Amino acid sequence: MDNRNWWQGAIIYQIYPRSFQDTNGDGIGDLPGIAQHLEYVASLGVEAVWISPFFRSPMKDFGYDIADHRAVDPIFGSLEDFDVLLTKAHALGLKVIIDQVLSHTSNEHAWFRESRESRDNARANWFVWANPRTDGGPPNNWLSIFGGVAWAWEPRRCQYYLHNFLVDQPDLNFHEPAVQRAVLDNVRFWLERGVDGLRLDAINFCCHDPLLRDNPPKPPEERTGHGFRPDNPYAYQYHLYDNTRPENLEFLARLRALLDEFPGAVSLGEISSEDSTATMAEYTRPGRLHMAYTFELLGADGSPAHIRDTVERKMAASPEGWPCWAISNHDVQRVITRWGKPDSPQHLATQLTAVITSLRGAACLYQGEELGLAEAQVPFELLQDPYGIAFWPNFQGRDGCRTPMPWDDSPQGGFTTGKPWLPLPAPHLGQSVRVQEGNPGSPLHALRGLLRWRKRHPALVRGAIGFIDAPADVLAFRRWCEGQRLVAVFNFRNCGVTVRLAELEGVVALEGHGLPAGELFGTRLTLPAHGAFFGII
């Protein structure tokens, strides 16, 4: 692969800056802390890092509410610190992808402060403003993802403004050409600084229906899917008019044209819509985004049937597209807790990584996945996440996956010399990097071995994929490219399993992937609990 398509089949390591490494004792991770551990990240065998927002922000949504798109927030460091990080990453052979939050800003952003002052200032039309109904209520029935009405009253203008997320996150008006130009100028700033790609937060939320039509109601039996809980009123509507509008495609084309000025720069879009598979296919057509990911594998269903169905639907909708698979990130419960069981073996973490890194496409690994970390339990009085605070106790928010990275087994995990912004759970300290470095059988060593082994098999990196019918709790598929044909079989059970697959005729087992591999006799394969088989044809 040349530099222009390095991202096809790449493994991307997500870093949540607040929780990675604190270097100044304030209990919050920072950019120098990321730079300090880049050798560790490179040692995992990944191709790139994705760094969640570090821009100037009041931190109402912990950086996803941006007040200045071109400035580093002082809690994370400075632009000079970012330049040092970028230079070091490149020297280690790592690409750097940064989060870009384009659909909205913080209500403390200079653009919004000006826009809210009057209806006739230079930026009066830069945000989504609407008059009240005759009874004084909001202009329509749109709802916020974080619960409640998606409109907030602004007395200076005697109008409502739209916020698809927190009230502190007003939505930009992408129907205003000046807004698109300003947003793209901010993106250019970072591309010219040398970043290798953009992870685009909520990218299908940029455009809204200019007629402000009501969303139709959704029946109770359909109030699930794409990451929204049935106890959240957001799930009560079909979101046809407040996001994923056709006008958004025109903006994506302009964004892609900008990226194409920087050879090798990649775009990765986060998609959450009524039909995420169709939206992902539409958004990754030629001339738009390079890759996208959705929430299908970030939910509770980790069955082989669901994984197969998700991949096959994506491939059918976009045969030439390159998805990016993720089973954990900063917004969802850690996968070991979601998909595992109390008696699951330690190597479950490695198996799940093996599964997603063996599918066609790129894959994101969230910090701590390489250690097999489970979801932390954060008591209500220590919660920081506004989403969790609003929906407690049915939903405990996103803090449980955002607790600091455990570098050693000291009380603060080597993360800080101060008080960490979220507590480090005791079980995580026993799974720290230092502890696992000293244990050749640890998930950390297993992941390193797996990713090194994967690089030696081009079919797993960039080959085509075709699934094989197998019993429940077993996932089986073929991968092939020029000169290589492989078969992969995974046992999702907590006990051993024996299967007969005609596709195993003449297959020779491959070793070195590091997972419990079982034995192959003709077309009969015996796999231990959460074992894996890779064979070459």
Q: Which residues are catalytic?
A: 201, 261
Greatest C-alpha distance within the chain: 77
Q: Which of 531, 506, 536 is nearest to 518 (CA)?
A: 531
Residues 380, 385, 390, 393, CA torsion sign? negative
Q: What is the CA radius of gyration of the chain?
A: 23
Q: List the 362-366 sheet strands across, edge first.
A: 291-293, 266-270, 197-201, 95-101, 48-51, 11-15, 362-366, 324-326
What are the Cα distances from residue 304, in Å, to 301, 468, 477? Answer: 9, 11, 11
What are the Cα distances from residue 49, in Å, to 127, 446, 499, 526? Answer: 32, 20, 38, 37
DSSP 8-state secondary structure symbol assigned to residue 413: T
Q: Which of 362, 414, 434 is nearest to 197 (CA)?
A: 362
CA distance 248 to 262: 22
Residue pointed to by tokens 């850690």: 334
Residue pointed to by tokens 């992941």: 447
Q: Which residues contact 2 (CB under 8 A, 6 or more apart)?
A: none
